[in-house]
Structure 1
Amino acid sequence: MRRGRARDDATGWLFVAPVVVILGVFLLLPILMAMWVSLTSWNGQGSPFKSGVPFVGLDNYSRLFTRDDLARENFMISIRNNVYYVAIVVPLQTALALGLALIVNSRLLKGKSFFRSAFYFPSVTSSVAISVVFLFIFSNTGALTQLLGFFGIQGPQWFSDARGVLHLLLGMDTPPAALAGAGPFGLSWWEWLSGPSVAMCAIIALVVWTTSGTFMLMFLAALQDVPVTLEEAATLDGAGRWQRFRYVTLPMLRPTMFLVLTLGLIGSWQVFDQIYVMSKGDPAKTTLTPAFLSYRTAFRDFDYGAGTAISFVLFLIIVLLTLFQRRVMRERRS
């Protein structure tokens, strides 16, 4: 019995060995190499594993949080921008995806295949191409500005105005004395509470539009697995449409909701290509994100150690937020 089980185990490992080797060489090994680079001050010349590369330990990490210099300021600005980005994108794309799935899943809707394809089409279109189109739409003489002008509204300078939307709504250009002082990590409270810039809002609109289609398909698959008998029983008990959705449909969608929120959270913290094409962090760093800052620090400033350290800090943030979200969803489920 033991010999047969050992033979089965060896056979199983033999079949999975190619995948394990491939993942180890192309996934695990690069991660370990990048971790080593984050502990050095490698400038990109030669090999980072030569003896002449200066080893700085955790200095690349500590300077992001403790040193009062430009590196920490840029990193905290990118974190602030990404927090606003996540707080707006994740709820909007989840709600829009669920709404579209409910529409497509409706029994009264005709031409479901057409609407399903139309809603999903932006998700499979090149993000770079869509970003270029949105640049034309949100330019100072673009379609959106012209449309607002038709109604007598003067549109903002989308990719030139560095003020946050909260500052714009309040009509304040200078901070009040209570918010002008230094806040956490070297930024003033006025900077922390600025809200996203109009340029970031344009990027948010693009991302919500292009990602909702994929999450719509996930919700649609989950909705089609909801037993019809449950809804019919709720209808016989006198439950209205909203009550059926809240107490019957929505609890059945909880696993899919967790998947959508997790993927949305991870993707929103990794936003890069839209930033690279549309703004490159401008105006005045209001669209700077940690992912783009990592790229810029490594490949433009040739500080590969600091750039890699930013990427690992970003990875830690994503893991912690995902674990927190999982715990919250589990407590609600219980």
Structure 2
Amino acid sequence: MTATATAPRRARNTRSGIRRGEALAGWVFTLPVILILGVFLLIPVVMALWVSVSDWSGRGSPFSSNVGFVGLQNYAAVTTGDGLATRDFGTAMRNNTWYVLLVVPLQTALSLFLAVLVNGAILRGRGFFRTAFYFPSVTASVAITVLFIFLFSTSGVVNEILGAIGIAGPNWLADPRGLLHILFGAVGITDGPAALTQNDFLGLSWWNWIAGPSVAMTVFIIMAIFTTSGTFMLLFLAALQNISPEVQEAAMVDGANAWQRFWRVTLPQLKPALFTVLTLGLIGCWQVFDQIYTGTKGQPAKTTLTPAYLSYDASFLDQDWGQGAAIAFILFAIIVLLTLFQRWALRDRPVSARRARQYQPKETRP
């Protein structure tokens, strides 16, 4: 074999050896992180999954011989049973569903509005406003919770203002009714139709499902929007600053007005940031715990109970570790499914010829 024939082989062997060395070096550098994630994340998740399908009492190791396998009994107890566990889980799901439906859209819209506002050239002191809008996000949630509970309490500022304008200020936080039920009661509707009161889901009638958030939960909703919009504003602001000015100028040359430029040019380019904001907001809303623990502990009448707090209550207070872990994994499944749905809804779709003509200014359409 000649030297010219063996040269390519030596080059290939050298390149493969370099790649193997790079791969080995990559594994060496990432090994500490893999070990940390395995010890503090993967192993606890596997242990929690086993606890959710076992009768572990909280004493000793969950893998000891006296811990038995119960299958899906813990999951069935909170989803299909007729007892208090199912009703509490249904109440927590109802409360958290209203929390998600109100917080996620409002905080996303507000954070996008603030990002567009501080990104505009006409606003003076943009640095000050960026800091002011972001400041609530870095404040401890415990301090914010105590402040909001005080503002809406009987002797709080909100009730003082309502009293000054002639509206009696009762203890709003102690009212267990939902906002929609309060509005229905104001017009004389106190009982729902039979179709809503005689059928139930997770231990609650559909009339209770559509009650809306209580006043106390509404306070937490306002607080969540107030404290998270600043963080998401920065994400939108970074995405807005990455949009080339030439794109906006081209749209202006085509005759697009400000709303058309935002809706048809700016917003489509914000889709990655929008997905991130919606996903983080969704996860944060379904995992709300510290505000409930600090503020109300699920009261009044369990109208601020959430699945995350219910999991803590079942595990650490009632010592029912199996049901607590089952609630946590149900919550995990809900978050994953909704995240996948968001990814599907915000996916890139091919633009049809008819839709492309709709995006063209009228002057340039054929």
Same fold (TM over 0.5): yes
Classify the secondary structure of the residue corresponding to 2:79.
coil
Q: Distance in 2 between matches of 1:190 and 1:175?
A: 6
What is the distance in 2 between the residues matched to 1:318 and 1:155? Answer: 38
Offset at residue 158 of structure 1 (A): 2.4
- Cα distance change, pair 296–333 in 1 and its aligned pair in 2 (3 A): farther
2:227 equivalent to 1:210: yes
SS at match of 2:298: coil
C-alpha change, 1:138 and 1:255, in structure 2 (3 Å) is same
Instruction: Tell me how many residue pairs correspond in the alignment.
Output: 334
Measure, in 2, the Cα distance between the counterparts of 1:132 and 1:301: 26
Partner residue in 1 for 2:5:
none
State the 1:182 CA deviation. Answer: 2.6
User: What TM-score does the superposition give when structure 1 sets the normalisation length?
Assistant: 0.96
TM-score normalised by L of structure 2? 0.88
- 8 Å CA contact retained: 1:137, 1:143: yes
**Displacement of 1:236:** 2.1
Q: State the AA in 1 paired with 2:41.
A: L
The letter for the 2-side match of 1:228 is: P
- 1:290 — aligned with what? 307
Change beyond 3 A, Cα 1:332–1:129: farther
Instruction: Check whether the contact 1:297–1:304 (CA below 8 A) recurs between aligned residues.
Output: yes
| SS of aligned partner of 1:330 | coil
Matches within 5 A, 1:75-224: 75-155=89-169, 157-171=171-185, 172-224=189-241
Task: State the 1:332 CA deviation.
Answer: 5.4
Among 4, 7, 21, which residue is 1:7 paired with?
21
Q: Which amino acid aligns with 1:187?
A: L
Whole-angstrom CA distance in 2 between matches of 1:111 and 1:161? 42
Distance 2:170 2:242 in 1: 45
Contact 1:158 1:202 (C-alpha < 8 Å) held by counterparts: no
Displacement of 1:41: 2.1
Aligned-residue RMSD, C-alpha: 1.5
Q: Which digits, 9 at most, give the CA deviation of each residue in 1:155-199, with x for residues without a partner? A: 453221110100101113333434221322321111111111111
Structure 1 residue aligned with 2:31: 17
Asked whether the equivalents of residues 40 and 56 of structure 1 are also in contact (C-alpha less than 8 Å), the reply is yes
Query: Secondary structure at 1:287's aligned position in 2?
Result: coil
Distance of 1:53 and 1:156 partners within structure 2: 51
Name the amino acid aligned to 1:226.
I
* CA displacement at 1:45 relative to structure 2: 2.1
1:244 paired with 2:252, answer no
Any gaps of 5 or more consecutive residues in structure 2?
Answer: 1-12, 352-366
- Superposed displacement of residue 310, structure 1: 0.5
The reply on whether 1:50 has 2:67 as its aligned counterpart is: no
Does structure 1 residue 321 correspond to structure 2 residue 338?
A: yes
- Could you tell me whether the CA contact under 8 Å between 2:89 and 2:202 is conserved in 1? no
What CA deviation, in whole Å up to 9, does each residue of 1:53-109 have, x standing for no partner?
Answer: 233222111222221111111111111111111000000000010011111111011
Q: Does 2:240 match 1:226?
A: no
Aligned to 2:41, which of 24, 27, 38?
27
3-state SS, counterpart of residue 310 of structure 1: helix
Deviation at 1:113, TM superposition (A): 1.0
Bigger drift between 260-269 and 185-194 goes to: 185-194
Unaligned runs of 5+ in 1: none
Larger radius of gyration: 2
Write the distance in 2 (CA, Å) between the matches of 1:42 and 1:281. 26
Could you tell which deviates more after superposition, 105-114 or 233-242? 233-242
Moved more, 214-223 or 16-25: 16-25
Q: Per-residue deviation at 1:18?
A: 1.1
Determine the C-alpha separation between the residues in 2 that align with 1:332 and 1:275. Answer: 40
Could you tell which deviates more after superposition, 190-199 or 87-96?
190-199
Aligned equivalents of 2:350 and 2:240: distance in 1? 18
Give the alignment of 1:242-281 within 5 angstroms.
Answer: 242-281=259-298
Contact 1:159 1:279 in 2 (8 A): no
Deviation of 1:249 after TM superposition, in Å, equals 0.9
CA deviation digits over 1:127-182, x for unaligned, max 9? 00100011110101210111112122234532211101001011133334342213
Partner residue in 1 for 2:322: 305
Report the residue type matching 1:118 in the other structure: A
Question: Conserved in 1, the CA contact under 8 Å of 2:314 and 2:324?
Answer: yes
Letter in 2 for 1:221: A
Work out the CA distance in 1 between the residues paired with 2:349 and 2:92. 32
CA 252–265 in structure 1, closer or farther in 2 if over 3 Å, else same = same
State the alpha-carbon separation in 1 of the partners of residues 137 and 97 from structure 2.
23
